[in-house]
Structure 1
Amino acid sequence: MNQTVNISFEKALLKEIDKIAKKEHRSRSELIREAARSYIEKKSRWETIFSFAEKTTSISKISEEDIFEEIKKVRSRRKAS
């Protein structure tokens, strides 16, 4: 069941939303719903990653700094590819 809500946007942001919605041939509401879903999914994934890292560092000798260094190494290798 859908529920209607009222949201305020700055004019410039609303203009960008409308421009993208028009370009993608969909409504403003569809675009905003997708943006909200995407944000929630990404937030959930990051929470899972941080939770895993917290558990891992508490039961091993790996530090948070070690994890960040590994992330940097992986990103460097990707850029080099």
Structure 2
Amino acid sequence: MMPTVTVNIAFQDSLLDQIDKTARKEFRSRSELIREAARLYIERRSQWSDLFALGDMVVQKNQLTQDDVSGEIASARAARTTSA
């Protein structure tokens, strides 16, 4: 098991109430819930970072301009509107 470090974090009362209610519903401690929330946040940020890096790579590889990207977005939105 990895060693742990205790930290102090300030929350607004309303957020802390929501944290505690959720932890009770899931039969977990407040600390477990907050650790899981932090892990999920870090994982999601990493996934978004990877996605944006992939987008940048595609833009560079295909030598796309901002106008190319905007045109594709507009085209996709128009196609979605007409098919709905």
Given the two structures, how large is their TM-score scaled by the length of structure 2? 0.75
- Determine the structure 1 residue equivalent to 2:21: 19
Task: Select which of 60, 63, 66 maps to 2:69.
Answer: 66
Q: 1:55 deviation in Å?
A: 1.1
The gaps in structure 2 that reach 5 residues or longer are none
The gaps in structure 1 that reach 5 residues or longer are none
In structure 2, C-alpha distance between the alignment counterparts of 1:12 and 1:39, rounded to whole Å: 20
AA at the equivalent of 2:51: I
AA at the equivalent of 2:43: E
Percent identity among equivalent residues?
A: 44
In structure 1, C-alpha distance between the alignment counterparts of 2:16 and 2:65, rounded to whole Å: 43
In structure 2, C-alpha distance between the alignment counterparts of 1:45 and 1:53, rounded to whole Å: 12
- What whole-Å deviation, never above 9, does each CA across 1:29-73 have from its counterpart, x for those lacking one? 00000000000000000000000101110110445663872xx66
CA RMSD of aligned residues (A): 2.3
In structure 1, C-alpha distance between the alignment counterparts of 2:51 and 2:24, rounded to whole Å: 35
Question: Larger Rg: 1 or 2?
Answer: 2
Please state if 1:4 is matched with 2:6.
yes
Aligned residue-pair number? 74
